[in-house]
Structure 1
Amino acid sequence: MGVLDEPFVGSWALAAGALTRHQLRHDFERVVPDVYSRKGRPLDAIGRAKAAVHWTKGEGVLLGRSAAALLGSAFVDADQPVEIALPRHRRPAPGITVVQARIGRSDRCEVDGYPVTTPSRTAFDLACRLPRDRAVPALDALCRATGLDPSTALAFADVHQRVRGSARARAVLRLVDPGAESPPESLTRLLLIDHGLPAPTTQLVVRDTGGAFLARLDMGWERWRVAVEYDGAQHWTDSAQRTKDIDRHAILAEHGWSIVRVGADLLRNRPHIVIDRVVAALSARGAQLDDGSPGHHGTIARERKSLRA
C-alpha cells in the first residue's frame, strides 16, 4: 500500500514534495482539516480513526470504539464519531469526539504507529460509557480480537473503582464472553441469561462417540444436548449455505442434539418465542429450570410472561 493510500496530513505531504497542490485538489478529498484521503475510497472505522490521529498531528490517543477498531475488533460502525484523547482542550472537527485527558504510558500502546489505549483500558472505557446491550457485544469482539481475558479487564476495573461508571463497568465485564462471533450472538446469549437460563457454553464443539468432529455450535448446553444457533441473512439467502445447514442439523439430530434457531426478526421482535423454544427444549431433556418453591411458578415463567407484555 502506498504512503498516500491511507489518510495523511496535506501540509506535510506538500512540504515533503510527495504531491503538488493540483494533485491534492484533484485526486484527494479532505476528511478533516488538513487531512486527506484518496477520492473514491470510503474510509472504514480504522481509516477514520487514523485520520483523527493525523488531525491531532500525532498528539491524540485513540479511545473506546476507535481504539477497538485498530486493535482488531470487528463490527465497529464507521458512522460513529471517532473517539480520541488530547492532553489539552481543542475544538473537535466534524466526526471526532475529543476527550480532554492524559493517557498514561501504562494505558497506551501503538498499532501500526498509531497510539491507542491498551486492550484492558479500552475494555474499561467501553464498559463505563456504553449501555450494557451495546457494551457487551463490543467487549466480546474486543476480547476475541486481542486475546484479552475478561478477568484481566475486570481486574483493571477493580483497580479503578473511583472512576465514574466503574461499578457499571464491573457488572458489564462479568457478562463478557469472547466466544461470540457477532453482535447478534452476544445479544442472544444476553437474552438467555437475562431470563434465568444457565449461561450457555459458546463455540461448543460436538463430536461423535468415536471423537470425530461433527459441528461447532454458537452456544449451548452439552449436558442436555441443546444448542442455540443464530442464523444470519446468508443462512436464508445463500442456497449452498442453506443446503449445508439442513445436512448439518440432520446429523446433529441423529446424534441426539436439539437445535433452537434464532434469526434477526425473532431476536428483535419476538424474543419470548426464543425463550419458549429454549425452555421447552431444555425441559424435554430434564433440565430443572424453576426453583420449586411452593406457590412459585419460577423465574423463567415470570420472565416469559413479561416478554409477552
Structure 2
Amino acid sequence: MSKAPRRPPQLRGRVFRGSVAVSRGLLTRNDLRSSAWRPLFRDVYADAKVSITHVVRCTAVGRWLIPPEAAIAGRAAAGLYGCGTPTASDPVDVLIPRDARIGPATGLRVHHGEIDPDDILERAGVRVTSPARTCWDLARWLDVIEAVVVIDAILARRLTTVSALREYALNRAGRRGWRSLLRAVDLADAGAESPQESRTRVRLVLAGLPRPETQWIVAERGRFVARLDLAWPQFKVAVEYDGLWHDDPEQFHRDRRRLNRLLGGDWIVLHVTGKRLRDDFDGFLAEVRAALRARSRSSW
C-alpha cells in the first residue's frame, strides 16, 4: 500500500513558499512533488484542496514574486476590483518600476514603467494599481475595444468616473498613452452590462454610427415595456445582444415578449449574437445602418 502524502496542519488550506516550508522542517523537496501540493509559480505552492482562482494567484504574486514598489496591474488589477472574469490560468499582469528587475516566472506578464505615488493602492494585503492607473494601463496595453470593455466595468462599479479619468489623462499629457486613455474614455459607458454589449457598442461607433444610449427604458403611458441594451431613441432603432443569459428559458421568453410589443409599435429591434459579431460583423453593421437610414435622412 502506498504511503499517504504528508500534509502538515500548518499548511492545510494554505498557499506558501516551498523553500520556507522545507527550511522549517514541515516538508521535504520530495514531499512538494506529491499530489498533496500544487505548484503555482516558482517556489510557490498551494494545498491541492484549495480552489485556485485568479485572485489566489494574484495574491501569491503580490506577496512573494514582485518587489515592494511593484503592483498587480492591468486586467489582473481589474479582476481584483471585481471587474472582468479572468480565469485561473490567465497571466497575471504586474507593473514594475523601470529600474527594477524580477526573475523569470511563468504565468506573469511583466510591464515596466514610471509609477506615481498615487498610482498604487493596497487591496486585501496586495499592492494593486489604482482604478485610474489601471484604466491608463489598459488603454496602453490593449486595443481600444478591449480596453473599453474593462473600463466600462470599472465605471459601472463606480470605482472612478469619466471626468476623473479625463483629468488623470490630461495631467499626464505628453506621457506615453495619455491620448489612448482619452480616446478609450470618450468611448466608455458605465451603462454597459456585459463585455459583449461593450464590444457591440464600440464597434458600431468606430464604424461611424452615432453613439447609442445604453439600457434605454421604453414606457407606454407611464408603464414599463422594455429595457433595451443599445438604442437610438430619436429613430426608434435598438440592438439587443443575445447572450448566455438565454440559458434561462423563462427570462428569454419574457424579454422576447416585451420586444415583440415594441415590434408591434414603431421600434425596429435588431438582435446580434457572439457568433454574428465574430463571423459577420460587417453584415450586422449593414443591417443597423440600413435601419438608421430608414428612420433618418443621414447617409451613415
The TM-score, its normalising length taken from structure 1, stands at: 0.81
Are 1:230 and 2:236 counterparts?
Answer: no
Equivalent residue in structure 2 for 1:265, among 262, 266, 275: 275
Are 1:61 and 2:67 counterparts?
Answer: no
Displacement of 1:126: 0.7
Q: Cα deviations across residues 71-105 of structure 1 (Å, max 9, x unaligned)?
A: 11123354432112345211231011233456343
Residue 227 of structure 2 aligns with which residue? Answer: 216
Q: Cα deviations across residues 6-56 of structure 1 (Å, max 9, x unaligned)?
A: 644445567789xx3278655321201232223255533322211211223
Displacement of 1:69: 0.9
Q: Is the 8 A contact 2:66 2:102 kept in 1?
A: no
Residue 276 to residue 94, structure 1, CA distance change in 2 (3 Å): same
Runs of 4+ in 1 over 6 A off after TM superposition: 13-17
Displacement of 1:218: 0.9
Partner AA of 2:240 in structure 1: E
Residue 80 of structure 2 aligns with which residue? Answer: 70
Kindly report which structure 2 residues correspond to 1:19-98, keeping only aligned pairs within 5 A, or say none.
20-21=26-27, 25-39=34-48, 41=50, 43-56=52-65, 59=68, 60-87=70-97, 88-98=100-110
Residue 147 of structure 1 aligns with which residue? Answer: 159
Q: Cα deviations across residues 108-164 of structure 1 (Å, max 9, x unaligned)?
A: 112212110110011011101211222121221222234321231122111112322
For 2:253 and 2:275, how far apart are their aligned partners in 1? Answer: 21
Displacement of 1:234: 4.2
Residue 303 of structure 1 aligns with which residue? Answer: none
For 1:40 and 1:49, how far apart are their aligned partners in 2? Answer: 18
Residue 304 of structure 1 aligns with which residue? Answer: none
Residue 47 to residue 164, structure 1, CA distance change in 2 (3 Å): same
Residue 131 of structure 1 aligns with which residue? Answer: 143
Gaps of 5+ in 1: 291-299, 301-309
Displacement of 1:245: 3.2
Task: Name the SS for the 1:89 alignment partner.
Answer: coil
Q: What's the % identity of the aligned pairs?
A: 33
Residue 293 of structure 1 aligns with which residue? Answer: none
Q: Is the 8 A contact 1:179 1:203 kept in 2?
A: yes
Q: Is the 8 A contact 2:136 2:177 kept in 1?
A: no
For 1:4 and 1:166, how far apart are their aligned partners in 2? Answer: 46
The TM-score, its normalising length taken from structure 2, stands at: 0.83
Task: Name the SS for the 2:145 alignment partner.
Answer: helix
Partner AA of 1:163 in structure 2: R
Residue 219 to residue 14, structure 1, CA distance change in 2 (3 Å): farther
For 1:166 and 1:90, how far apart are their aligned partners in 2? Answer: 27
Residue 192 of structure 2 aligns with which residue? Answer: 180
Superposed CA RMSD = 2.8
Residue 139 to residue 4, structure 1, CA distance change in 2 (3 Å): farther
Task: Name the SS for the 2:192 alignment partner.
Answer: coil
For 1:6 and 1:176, how far apart are their aligned partners in 2? Answer: 39
Task: Name the SS for the 1:247 alignment partner.
Answer: helix
Residue 103 of structure 1 aligns with which residue? Answer: 115
